[in-house]
Structure formats: structure tokens, C-alpha cells
Structure 1
């Protein structure tokens, strides 16, 4: 039998040395590359598709509470530490890196209404339905270091930035406290039955704001003897968050399914209206960059908004997640935490398709190149459709369709009235002007 063997002579296809290989610089003249734009469009399309393939935002959960979680607080110095309080009065400290509970204590007899850390993170402050304020040492978490007794039920607490002694609580009024005194140093009232949320400004540290039961948002200054200004809306605001990069801007989560961004220099109308939720927005928190914020709603979903956009860029949901009660954006701008009624804290990626861990230089260059391409071709119909597409739960989808139909009917009715009325008697009211009743000084 005759066997033939394939052979190749290396001299036919290999050089003896690499010294004669000359580097030829690329000529970027567009006339020499007529299909460059087409190639970039295909690359941008592939980048958007791969972004959807790798979009896996859910990282893990923190399980251990025996009742629904009402509030959370992030540590100002440690990225891996958060605190949570539940309906049964339990307060827990968590380690996010290990996804384990570090400390647990029955802090209050009933509902834990609010939590916050002091400026250096050595103490945790909590308030509850038992009308007490307790200060816990984060190292020795068994017994409270200090206990203050209030004359009324407290619904919220916030610590003053850059001052380790001053904090504020809200209930039937706003009370300013000093950790060295057993009674509040100041009480600020403006004829409101109850205040259910309070927040200090991180930049202008003397300013704080609260959400009241009479549908108003009240601004205070700790150097004044009375509140400064108040804006009244059509429905109640549940929570408020200050923009950490712009001292004069804040955003509120409202019962009318929207969020409203305000400029404190002009409270007559909001700067922006953020839509997309199909039920009451219960909680809100800003990213440390001030460019985005996260919201949680009664419709069992978490949404991420750009501060200048009216619609959400991302929606997170699971089958088991119930009504959202608290959301937190981590200080490294990478993670979002959500707490809900079913006794669970969930950890999400702020960017759903972002790769966790260390990136190699080649990966970083590819990531930057793809981001530039997606921005360049963002307006193209196919890329825009893929980038905007999200899978949403069935109940949110049907509710959104009903609300869109309802808005169309109202808009059509207004147009008919305007068409059959005298000119300029039925003015066109923008969405920003519809929901604000009055601004009071």
C-alpha cells in the first residue's frame, strides 16, 4: 500500500528573520475607507445586543429578618456595611462582601421608623414607634450607648453632615437634637399634623427638608427659629433625596406614581417630572455622582433614572419581590440595594451588563470603544429599539397600557373643549404645572 504524506517547506511561507518586516502606519483618510461608517454601525449593533445578553443585574440577597423591612442606612466610610430595621423592632448590621449579618439586636418594641449613621460611622441612630431615639455603637451592638425619649411618635431621623453631635427627627414637628443633651435644642413647626420623612442636605449642611401629611414639602434652616418655605402638591410625597453634587436640587417620590425634581430657588414648578412607575413611589436615593437616582415603588419594581431624564433607563424586578419599602445606592456607584415587604434585601448592579472584578487593559479599551459607538449611533432606529427594550412583569405591562389609554382620553377631552371654546379661555397646562398647588413663604 502506498501512503502519501502532506509536507510543507517552511521556507515557502516563513521569513528567515523579522527585521525586514516594516511597520506601515495606518492612513486615516476617509476617502481610503469608504465602508468605515457601515462597519462601525454593525459594531455598535453588536455591542447593544451583547449588552442585553450580559444584562444580569441581580447579584444576591440578604436573608434573615423575620418581618418586613422598613428602612435601611448606608455606612459613610465602609462600602461593605449597611444597617436595616424591620416591622418587629429588629435592627441588623450586614456585611455585603460576605452577605452575612454581623450584628442583630431588638432595638425597639415596635416598628423601626428610621435609621442613620453619624458622620464617621462609629454610631448608628434609630427611631421607632416607642417614641425613643437610640444610639448604638457599631462595635458593641448589644446595648444602646444613649437613649433619648421623645414626647411624641417619631417617623424619621437624619444626621447632620460634618457635625458629629447634631441630628434631627420628625413626628408632629421637626426636632433638632444634640447628643450631649436629653431634650431637643430646637422645635420647628408649621401647622402640620405629622411629618413622615426628613433629610439633611449633604452640601449646605444647615438646610434640611421634610415631607408632611398635608401633601407639602417643607424646607428648614437650623440657624433659623422657624421653617423657611413650603410647596404644596396635589398628592402626598413619601420620601425625599437631596442631590449630593448640586446643593439646591432635590427629588421627591410621590403618591401619584411620579418623581419630581425641584430647584430650591424656584419651587413654583418642578425642574423635571420622572414617570414610568404604575403605582405609588415609596422610596428614593441618589447616586454619589448626582447624575442618577434609584426609586422603589408599590408596583414591586426598582427603577433607575437619569436626573435629567423623564423616563427610567432601567427596571429591576423578581417574581418574589413584593412592595418596595427602601432603596439605597452604594457610595462606590456600583450597586443598588432594595428592601421589600417579604423580609429580604436584594443587591443589584447599578449597570446591569457591567462585568464585576478587575478588567484587563484590552477589555477596558473595548468597553470604552463600544460605549463611544453606542453613543454615536444612539439615534438609529434599530439600535434605539434594542437599547430601550426591557422585559417587564405582566401586571406592570397591563397597568401601564391602561394608564396610557386613560391619559389619551383626558388629552382628547381637553382638546375637544379647547377646540369648541373661545380662544385662550382653556390654556394648555404642562405636566410640570399640573401637580403643584402653591408655594408658601
Structure 2
């Protein structure tokens, strides 16, 4: 708004409106620029600019004091002061700033000395004399505080009404002098008249020191905001709040309560305990603020796809005991702006009453780029070329059309989506998640057709046979399961000691007879699908990603993080040849055969893609230009191009004719994990670590 006003030659709004905008501005740099272009507002803007002072060092303190003494008319304009506790000199700061009402004590540059070493008794005396105007005190990034020293500074500002404690490194463990501690609590209870208290750190909010502070302030607090975890030891705050129920009159002023917590079962259990046991007579407004890094963890706690967990129901019922309940979900990672409505709907399924009352909200920075709200774990095309399916750590599956628009999206699992596979007729989509293997009908509003139970632990991978008759899945227990794709009944459980770790991939040969399985730090196993038995073991290859069968199903190319690229005979299980190790200086992340089977590519952490002759193992060309490791690469169906995805945030398109780079796609802002051509070769899709997914008609970008 200010930028718009600044660019106007003649403001069309009344000056009163513009002044109101200036009053609410929190961007000092923009305000300074605006002031220079609108001289009429200079006095008002200048007052705003000097209302909040941040002193970065002791030299700044001295320079600031000298400036105020030389310009005494500026002193009354300062209302808020931020200063390092080590640099704080109450006289003359408090003396020359008569209208100062808020102080923020912050520790900068690694100042982590104990609080008792910072302030002499004379400083407290000075604060008592000259700090009568201080109403708000913020303590941030402090360290090694004791309850005694915290009490001294609270008592120094005798008219203090608002206290905020945030990002405090720790409280020093209290000693055993209980009588002395109780004397401090009694003195605080008599003199402290806090109306608002906020302790923002979850782990700090359950300490004994905070409980004592609450005990001291309970007779005057009107607003209380706490980050409260559930402690396996004694829960000091929960014990204080619940145990004061018989004498609840001491909490009579309290009207607003906000409880903040990280999203895990133990923390929520503690919150529910407080909500069920703490009911001051005038407490009307109760807000539960759930903090988490990614939206997927929230859905996991809430019961997964379309379900409500028992603890979720208990949370809602506990909040509904109060006249004005509210629950907010503060997501650290940005959420796609067009998916806010989607997430509100999904959360509303699990918290229906709060949704109906309009008391459920998601708070996050918004991102307008298309995609998921967390890491893209898998990307596959449907064989009929009509759809692209992506799965993510946000627990959702998104179906995209060929124009790159979302056609459907849904919460599929209670955990990360690990793998996706379309049936050969494109009628079904299999998804492997941390909880189960699921089958979906994407043509019928993503209707769930079946859940295939039996894996112990998470399901990491899935694949459909080329003829569509069987489905394979690999799990964290090291076993592979083969299912009848028509009845979804279990056919075989493939277990072998050579799979001692997670089975991260399963892959059918083009003729459907063989199934390859394996994972990091493991061997690669070849199974005979018809008889359901182990055929061969490729030892010590430690494949990084899914290996690749040649079109004739006679050879298997395997990439290893041990810098090896090898081609193995499917029939004998013997190594036909290993490509020259010196060609890749770091681990190999991906391999793929060309459509005619004559060439093999290998993508590597050394930032290159190598093209090899599949029959001789001779290096044909090296595609160089990425500035980060290459995570995936694929031949185009026509065989004339190669697409590669890199941790440098780009997708590159290479010409096979001369190895030159034909185009660079830079839309992603994070590591690009997957790249794939549509079966008909019309589109090229990619997915990145920041959740973005892009479907592009790549020929339009050719130079």
C-alpha cells in the first residue's frame, strides 16, 4: 500500500486515511522512502520511525544518548527500546526517554553469560526509580536465568503489565532452599500485577520456574499464553493449573488462554489434561495453537485418510467445554495458496464441530507455485497419457492433467507417500504409504477400491506387472508381497535373508516374468513371479534407486552409490560388465535404458549424466553442465533427447546427437528429485523437494 502511495504523483486519498496507513506500517525501509516522496507526511512519518529504537551495541547506546541530549525534543517520541542486556544502562536511558513503555532485552552475538553476572543491584534500583512507565517487558534469547534473578527484574519495573518470555536458552536448576523460593513467590504475589503473560517456548513452558511465575501472577492475569509440552517427569504447569481447582477464585481475572504445543501424542495428552481440569469462572476464550513443520504430520496425528483419531476427538471435546474455543494450526513450511481450502476441508472432517463454528484455521506462508506442501516422493504417468500422479510427504496424492492443472487431490495415507504405480489399463492407481498399500480408482473421484494389509511396518514401494494380473509391494521388514490384481488377494510372500533392510523398490521386467527388489545398503534380488521363488541374488551392488530392465527382459542395469554402474544377466545372475568406475567420481543415483535398448544412461552425484553402449559398456558421451548432483534422468520416447533433474534446482534437456544442452528449466526453487516423459513424448514433468510439480510441453522450449 505504501509503495502504491509513494508512486502516486498526487494522492487521491484523504490525508487522514494516509496517516492511518502510516501508523500501521511495520516496514521502516518503505516508510523512509515514502517519507522522502511525501513531504507533507514527514512529521508524522518521522515520529513513527523514532518510536521504536533498536540499539545494536554499547557504542550505539552512547551515540544514541548523545543524540537525544543534543535534540531533547526527540526523547519523548521513543516508545519502544530493544537492547542487549549487557549494554543496558538504565541511567540515562530511562531518564531521557520519559514516554518509554516497552523494553525488549535480547542477547546478541553469543552473549550467554548467566543473568546474575549482567546487572548490579544499582541497576535494579535505577529501574525502580525511572522505569515506572514501563508496561511491557520482552525477554528473548537469554540464557542461564534463575527464578530469583527473573523475579528481581520483574519487581524492578513496578508498573509492569505485560511479560513475554521467548527463545530463552534455559533456566538454571533451582536449589533446595524452598523457604527462600516461597518468600520470593509471596513478594511477587503482593507486588506483581501482570495482566498478560506469554511464554512461547514449548519446553520452557513446563518448567518449575514458569509454574512459580504463574503462581505469583494468577490473581491478576487476564491473558495467558503458554507453550506447554507433556513431560514424562512431573508436569509442573499442568499440576499447578489442575491442583488450583479447589481455590479457583485466585484465577478469577483470567479470560483468555492460549496453549501452544508441538504436534505429538504426549504433548496433546498434556493439553487435554489441562483443558479437562482447569476451569476458572471467567475463562471464555481458549485457543489451542498446534505448531508443526509440515502439514503431513498433522494428518498423521488426525487419523490418516478420511479418519478421525481418538485423541483428535478428545481434543475437540476438551475445547468445546469453553464458550469460545478455537484451534489453529501454525505450519512452518509454506502451503500452496490454492490448497488452503483443501486443507481446511480435510481438517474439518476430523474436527467437524469447530469447523461448523468457524473456529478452525490454518496459518502459514502461502506459495502460489503449483504442487504439494512437502517433498515430492514419487511421480508417474498413466499409460494412457491422460494423467500424471504425484505423491508427497504431505500425505496426499495429486492427479494432474496434461496441461499441468490439478484434476483431483486427496489425503491417501496417515504417513508419507512412498511409491505410486498405475495399472497398465490406467484404471487403477496403487499407492504405498507408511501405513498400508492402497488401491484407488482415479476416474471415480479417487475412490478407494481396496486396502492391502499384511506388511509389518511401512510399505515403501509398489509396481504393477505389465499384463496387469499381479501387483508387487516391498516393505520395511525386508519382505516382498505379490498380490492378485483382480481380487487383491495375497499370492506370495517373498522373504530371503539377502533382504535385511527396507525394500525400497520393486520392478517388473517388461515380459512380466521377473521381479527385481532391493534397496540401499542391500543386495538386489531377482524373483521368478510365476513360481514365487528367489531366482538370483546380485550381491554387493547396493542399488540406490530402481534398476532398469532392457526391453527384451534379458538384462538388468543397476546403479550403486558405490560409483558402480553394471549390467547383469537376468538368466544367470552374472555381471556382464561394469562400466568404467573412473568415469563417475561419486555415487550413481539413477539408470535407464533407451526405448530400443541400445543405450544406458547413468545419473551421478558428480553432476554428470553418462551415456553408455548397452552391448559393450563403452562410454558414448558425457552430459555436463549441472552445478549440483543429478538425481534422475530419462531418455525421451523418441530417443533424441535426455532429461535430467538436479539438486541445483534445474531440469536440463540434452540433445543426443551432440550432447549439447537444448534447454534449461529453472521454475523449481529447490532440489529436483524426479523427471519423466509422458509415454507419447508430448510432456515432461518434474517434482522437487519443495513440493513443486511442473508439467510442460517441452518441445515448445527447444532452442
TM-score (norm 1): 0.56
Q: Name which one, 1 or 2, has greater alpha-carbon Rg.
A: 2
Query: Which residue of 477, 481, 489 corresponds with 1:175?
Result: 481
Match for residue 268 of structure 1?
574
- For 1:332-411, list aligned pairs within 5 A: 332-333=638-639, 336=642, 338=644, 346=651, 348-349=652-653, 351=655
1:201 aligns with 2:504: no
- For 1:18-417, list aligned pairs within 5 A: 63-78=370-385, 81-96=387-402, 98-130=403-435, 132-152=436-456, 153-162=458-467, 164-171=468-475, 172-181=478-487, 183-191=489-497, 192-194=499-501, 195-203=503-511, 205-212=512-519, 215-233=522-540, 235-273=541-579, 275=581, 276-308=583-615, 309-311=617-619, 313-315=621-623, 317-318=625-626, 324=631, 326-333=632-639, 336=642, 338=644, 346=651, 348-349=652-653, 351=655
Q: Distance in 2 between matches of 1:230 and 1:253?
A: 15
Contact 2:556–2:567 at 8 Å: present in 1 too?
yes
Q: Secondary structure at the match of 1:237?
A: coil
Distance of aligned partners of 1:332 and 1:181 in 2 relative to their CA distance in 1, 3 Å threshold: same
Structure 2, gaps ≥5 residues long: 1-368, 663-703
Q: Distance in 2 between matches of 1:66 and 1:327?
A: 24
Shift of residue 271, structure 1, vs aligned partner: 2.6
Contact 1:74–1:330 at 8 Å: present in 2 too?
no
1:150-173 deviation per Cα after TM superposition (whole angstroms, max 9, x unaligned):
3322221111111x2311111221
1:92-114 deviation per Cα after TM superposition (whole angstroms, max 9, x unaligned):
33345x34444333322322221
Distance of aligned partners of 1:105 and 1:388 in 2 relative to their CA distance in 1, 3 Å threshold: closer
Distance of aligned partners of 1:311 and 1:268 in 2 relative to their CA distance in 1, 3 Å threshold: same
Match for residue 204 of structure 2?
none
Q: Distance in 2 between matches of 1:390 and 1:350?
A: 4
Distance of aligned partners of 1:138 and 1:388 in 2 relative to their CA distance in 1, 3 Å threshold: closer
Distance of aligned partners of 1:352 and 1:86 in 2 relative to their CA distance in 1, 3 Å threshold: farther
Q: Distance in 2 between matches of 1:304 and 1:102?
A: 36
Distance of aligned partners of 1:108 and 1:232 in 2 relative to their CA distance in 1, 3 Å threshold: same
Q: Distance in 1 between matches of 2:411 and 2:639?
A: 31
Distance of aligned partners of 1:110 and 1:332 in 2 relative to their CA distance in 1, 3 Å threshold: farther
Q: Secondary structure at the match of 1:155?
A: strand
Shift of residue 115, structure 1, vs aligned partner: 1.4
Match for residue 436 of structure 1?
none
Contact 1:72–1:327 at 8 Å: present in 2 too?
no
Distance of aligned partners of 1:123 and 1:67 in 2 relative to their CA distance in 1, 3 Å threshold: same
1:316-364 deviation per Cα after TM superposition (whole angstroms, max 9, x unaligned):
6555x6662x54445444565555679x784x545267xxxxxxxxxxx
Shift of residue 246, structure 1, vs aligned partner: 2.4
Contact 1:75–1:82 at 8 Å: present in 2 too?
yes
The structure whose residues are more often helix, as a share, is 2
Match for residue 665 of structure 2?
none
Q: Distance in 1 between matches of 2:424 and 2:589?
A: 26
Structure 1, gaps ≥5 residues long: 1-61, 354-386, 392-441
TM-score (norm 2): 0.37
Contact 1:337–1:345 at 8 Å: present in 2 too?
no
1:356-379 deviation per Cα after TM superposition (whole angstroms, max 9, x unaligned):
xxxxxxxxxxxxxxxxxxxxxxxx
1:256-282 deviation per Cα after TM superposition (whole angstroms, max 9, x unaligned):
123111122343333342653333222
1:272-293 deviation per Cα after TM superposition (whole angstroms, max 9, x unaligned):
4265333322233322221233
| Alignment size in residue pairs | 287
Shift of residue 63, structure 1, vs aligned partner: 4.8
CA RMSD, 1 decimal = 3.3
